[in-house]
Structure 1
Amino acid sequence: MRPITAIGFDADDTLWQNEQYYRLTEQSFVDLLGEFAEGAHITERLLEAEKRNLAYYGFGIKGFTLSMIETAIEITGGQVSTDTIAEILEIGRNLLRHPVEKLPHVEETLEALNGEYLLVLITKGDLFDQERKLAQSGLGDFFDAVEIVSDKNATTYRRIFSKLADGPERAMMVGNSLKSDIVPAIAAGSYGVFIPHALTWVVEHVEPPTDAPRFRQIEHLGQLGSVIEAIKAA
């Protein structure tokens, strides 16, 4: 029996750039409120709002935009103008218009694995936005299934890999977030392959599970094939 029959891939900042657009939007928001507070203070308050609102709005652009509006109300003591609110809504909408920029080695890696393994895209965030990015990326045909979820935890991976494949023990999850992609996948019994990204959101930071036998780390997606071959040979 092959040790791996299914491979799950995260989308944002694993297959294509994402966080860089949030950073640009955040800077536009800071500039917009610059007369009311220092940039570092605005950024800190926005992060607090985002964390606070995850339980209500989940991950994605809509929740981020609502958090910007909430932060603007707080920073200005409720004096934020309707024109400023309109500008915040517009910079939030601009996030939905950004181009899809694929990361290096993505297409050739998926092409090499397609047909050999069951490939599943497992991503969280706004449904419409994730569907848009997948369609614009041109990568959709490489995947046997697409799962857009509200959050990622061990239960998520057990459910997906049990429903679609041969169970989590014969699956691998590949992604840039230790908290969402790697730690919970390993907890579910899968292999977890971590590909660090320079701009991973601070909320997704946890310590790497270096002592876990099924943890692997690579520099870029082009190295994934070698990891799989080493696991098969072990």
Structure 2
Amino acid sequence: MIKKNIPNMITTGNLVAGCIGIYFALNGEFMSSAYCIGIAALFDFLDGLVARLLKVHSEIGKQLDSLADMVTFGVLPSFIMFQYLSAADAGNWKFIAFAIAVFSAFRLAKFNVDTRQSDQFIGLPTPANAIFICSLIFLKDIPGFDFLFEKTALSIVVTIFSLLLVAEIPMIALKFKSLKFKENIFRYILILGAITLVVLFQFSGIPFVIAFYILLSVVNNIVASRN
């Protein structure tokens, strides 16, 4: 019984991190919110890994995972963006931030019933979307990036990334059936690119990792369509 619930306990860590992150977001502590999303993303990775290693799968675990993801990667980034837009004097436009939560809900529901997503994602995964939004704060004090926190730019980010969540665009998933280079070339490029960006720019490189991920997925689709 304990063994069966270990993945669920890890998933609960994801949920708790998300709840704490919302608290920080409401208090304007965006760095702390970003760290909470990072911790939650680690829990989100580990619960699936542990479930596979222990060979324990349950419908409750699947639903709990989606509910935790909805809080952490849907509601939390919505509140972060709401605070960004409020600070940018966006008026009633600040409520567009909650489109992130709405489209995240559709994305998660779709993932649960879409059998095509065994070795790839269809649409931007909610953790990637949340990580991009929360990591924007690391660019705030860098010269040349202050425009990202203007209401127009923020509204565009919300619109584009909300649509990417439900777009019928295959996205790379780090799910390896084998370690052969030819079969996983774009996965290896993604890993190498992500490591390079983070090493060069530390936390400020994280938004570029997500942008690189999206671009690389598009290139992967173009190459696949020609083969």
**Which of structures 1 and 2 has the larger relative contact order (alpha carbons within 8 angstroms, sep 6+)?**
1
Larger radius of gyration: 1
Choose between structure 1 and 2: higher strand proportion. Answer: 1
